[in-house]
Structure 1
Amino acid sequence: MNRPAAVLITGSSTGIGATYAARFAQRGHDLVLVARDKARLDVLAQQLSEKFDVTVEVLPADLTNQDDLLRVERKLRDDERIGVLINNAGMGQSGSFLDQDAQRIEQMIALNVTSVTRLAAAIAPRLVNNGDGAIVNIGSVVGLAPEFSMSIYGATKSYVQFLSQGLQIELGPRGVYVQAVLPAATRTELWDRAGIDVSRLAEMMDVEELVDAALVGYDRREPITIPPLHVEERWASLQTARQALIGDLKQGQAAARYRQ
């Protein structure tokens, strides 16, 4: 029996990434764990390898650092064992648009947008050549809701959703599955890092429930999985309305309401 493909998971020292690592290890996948905190990665790697008898490689990296990002890209391009990429690493936004400084804006875009895109681009050619594999990008329902007043973070997550949908259209027919997972508020350390007081939030999903739901969508090969969305038809209606809007575009001339 062939061993399942290895899985590279970014942001895997805690929270969603660490839970994905445990779930894929339980399924018999070898792992490559990527995060900044080597000590935590080492502990998690030892726990998972002993419990599930899988090989767990640790690859410490800060994905906002160009040299580190290049090392992870090389790993994805060159390691034929890796057949699944979980693009989980990300950072949140504390405060309004006016509260952000240039450094934090650059870091958020570098981690939430640039690294996600470059890592997907690094592995995609090899997966297409093999006609198999998967790319999972962790987005957010905030990317659907400018009303939440997290403009930069929401814009980065909207990008992740759009990228994932586009890649599924391009790569899906060539054997590569692409999934975007859109969590709502989930119990992870991201809130503390962003300086957000979680006690203000009325509800929050446990990370295990979030990842288990996301993996149901993964096994069903859903292009978009939204674990907190209880009325599934809302998403289908949104896509139908979006496609109708595209069908109504007439690019040869402006709409009558704009002509005087």
Structure 2
Amino acid sequence: MTDTSSVLITGASSGIGATYAERFARRGHDLVLVARDKARLNALSARLRDETGVAVEIVVADLTDPDDLGLVAKRVSDDRKIGVLVNNAGAGLAGAFERQAIADVERLVSLNTTALLRLSHAAAGNFVAAGQGTIVNISSVVGLVPEFGQSVYGATKAFVLYLSQGLALELGPKGVYVQAVLPAATRTEIWERSGADPEKVPPLMDVGELVDAALVGFDRREPITIPALHEGAHWDAYQAARLVMIQGFGQTQPAERYRIAG
């Protein structure tokens, strides 16, 4: 990423996306802001232009619509000024799995995974050719915790984490930095949009504090940033245990514990 590169942010009209837009604008980056809500995008872009002097372009798009997604992907792949992609657009879905409408489930998966994958792919070609660039993917700690009971949402965020880790290994040697940010419960509109019961909403982190912490990880070039995790050693232990398990995956015979009857 160069000092003059533009930043494209999805889901930029409110919450985490709008806060990233403000923070990057204050760092002097021009912006391309993508979301469905034109009125909010216009208000945010006008304010950021007035307050920071950066150039702000808005793109009104529904990333679950194939045509809209294709247009945004083309912008990412064609615009050589874009040096940072923040894949923030996402949604939640409340309720038990068996009672969730399948159309809502499919829309959730489309937004949280397919759109992110498509835009990451569009950016990767540009960034590898330039030998630099950054992809920031907003995942969630829910992707590590099936016990939370948000099966589909958590599965999409586990996908985002795995994809980010894989891309970091693939693209890192080619000059592309990939960061996965795993927020815990954060004060944004996702709760009411998902239909969550207000009485069951957990304590929430302020969105500004969340993004500021994520940007500390960004500046440090962390591959994984979990703002709510106070003990970084816990993540290191998790990774160490995973790496130990990998050593056993190459066996040609089943483990002894599966070869004993009874």
Question: How far 1:259 moved relative to its partner?
Answer: 2.3
Q: Equivalent residues in 2 for 1:52-63 (5 A)? A: 52-63=52-63
Q: Give me the whole-angstrom Cα distance separating, in 1, the residues matched to 2:250 and 2:47.
A: 58
Q: Please, which moves more after superposition, 245-254 or 55-64?
A: 245-254
Q: Which amino acid aligns with 1:136?
A: V
Q: Give me the whole-angstrom Cα distance separating, in 2, the residues matched to 1:99 and 1:93.
A: 11
Q: Which amino acid aligns with 1:112?
A: N
Q: 1:3 to 1:126 in 2, by over 3 A?
A: same
SS at match of 2:196: coil
Q: Over residues 119-169 of structure 1, what are the superposed CA-to-partner deviations in whole Å (9 max), with x where a residue is unaligned? A: 000010110111111000000000000000000000000000000000000
Q: Which amino acid aligns with 2:209?
A: E
Q: Please, which moves more after superposition, 248-257 or 86-95?
A: 248-257
Q: Give me the whole-angstrom Cα distance separating, in 1, the residues matched to 2:147 and 2:131.
A: 40
SS at match of 1:217: helix
| Number of residue equivalences | 259
Q: Give me the whole-angstrom Cα distance separating, in 2, the residues matched to 1:233 and 1:133.
A: 29
Q: Give me the whole-angstrom Cα distance separating, in 2, the residues matched to 1:192 and 1:210.
A: 19
- Residue 254 (structure 1) aligns with: 254
Q: Which runs of 5+ in 1 are unaligned?
A: none
Q: Which amino acid aligns with 2:121?
A: A
SS at match of 1:32: strand
Question: How far 1:238 moved relative to its partner?
Answer: 0.2
Q: Give me the whole-angstrom Cα distance separating, in 1, the residues matched to 2:239 and 2:246.
A: 11
Q: Which runs of 5+ in 2 are unaligned?
A: none
8 Å contact from structure 2 (residues 186, 207) kept in 1: yes
Q: Give me the whole-angstrom Cα distance separating, in 2, the residues matched to 1:80 and 1:28.
A: 17
Q: Which amino acid aligns with 2:186?
A: T
Q: TM-score, normalised by structure 1?
A: 0.97
Q: Which amino acid aligns with 1:222?
A: E
Question: How far 1:198 moved relative to its partner?
Answer: 3.8
Q: Give me the whole-angstrom Cα distance separating, in 1, the residues matched to 2:138 and 2:117.
A: 12
Q: TM-score, normalised by structure 2?
A: 0.97
Q: Which amino acid aligns with 1:122?
A: A
- Residue 16 (structure 1) aligns with: 16
SS at match of 2:39: helix
8 Å contact from structure 2 (residues 185, 202) kept in 1: no
CA RMSD of aligned residues (A): 1.0
Query: Taking every aligned residue pair, what percent have the same amino acid on both sides?
Result: 58
Q: Which amino acid aligns with 1:146?
A: P
Q: Equivalent residues in 2 for 1:43-122 (5 A)? A: 43-122=43-122
Question: How far 1:250 moved relative to its partner?
Answer: 3.1
SS at match of 1:84: strand
Q: Give me the whole-angstrom Cα distance separating, in 1, the residues matched to 2:97 and 2:30.
A: 41
Q: Over residues 167-210 of structure 1, what are the superposed CA-to-partner deviations in whole Å (9 max), with x where a residue is unaligned? A: 00000111000000000100001111001134433411000000
Q: Equivalent residues in 2 for 1:2-13 (5 A)? A: 4-13=4-13
Q: Give me the whole-angstrom Cα distance separating, in 2, the residues matched to 1:158 and 1:218.
A: 20
Q: Does 1:127 pair with 2:134?
A: no
- Residue 245 (structure 2) aligns with: 245
Question: How far 1:257 moved relative to its partner?
Answer: 1.9
8 Å contact from structure 2 (residues 131, 174) kept in 1: yes
Question: How far 1:255 moved relative to its partner?
Answer: 1.1
Q: 1:3 to 1:239 in 2, by over 3 A?
A: closer
Q: Which amino acid aligns with 1:75?
A: R
Q: Which amino acid aligns with 1:240?
A: A
Question: How far 1:59 moved relative to its partner?
Answer: 0.3
Q: Give me the whole-angstrom Cα distance separating, in 1, the residues matched to 2:192 and 2:159.
A: 24
Q: Give me the whole-angstrom Cα distance separating, in 1, the residues matched to 2:258 and 2:238.
A: 26
SS at match of 2:235: helix
